[in-house]
Amino acid sequence: MHSKELLKGTLKTIILKLLKENERMYGYEITQEVKKMTDGKIQLTEGALYPTLHRLEADGYLKTETQKIGKRIRKYYYLTSKGGATSGQLVNEFYDFINTINLLLKPQ
């Protein structure tokens, strides 16, 4: 498992990227998808995920819709056009960042 500290700045990028590819997702689905895609190396905690989702919504990157599933309510998140545009931009920025860190960390 990767450390929380390393993950901290990437959560926003991960969420926006997943939603770009999946149209709409709910919280638990996001945690499961991340777990599956990373072979369990990244496990998002609820304590980090939901506040970030709510912040992204408040900032206009995401919108939500609710749906009744049996007797409970499920909240789905999807990208606004602003969220869609930001998603690609953040992914590119992050690749750039990885390359830069690579310059620093690769053995000379």
**For binding to other proteins (CB under 8 A), which residues are involved?**
26-28, 45-48, 50-52, 54-55, 58-59, 66, 69-75
Rounded Cα distance between 35 and 62, Å, is: 22
What phi and psi, each to the nearest 5 degrees, are found at residue 59?
Answer: -85, 0
- Minimum CB separation of residue 38 from other proteins in Å reads 18
- Minimum CB separation of residue 88 from other proteins in Å reads 23
Assign 3-state DSSP to the chain and report helix, strand, coil percentages, each to 5: 65, 20, 20
Identify which of residues 12 and 87 has a Cβ nearer to other proteins in the complex: 12
- Minimum CB separation of residue 83 from other proteins in Å reads 16
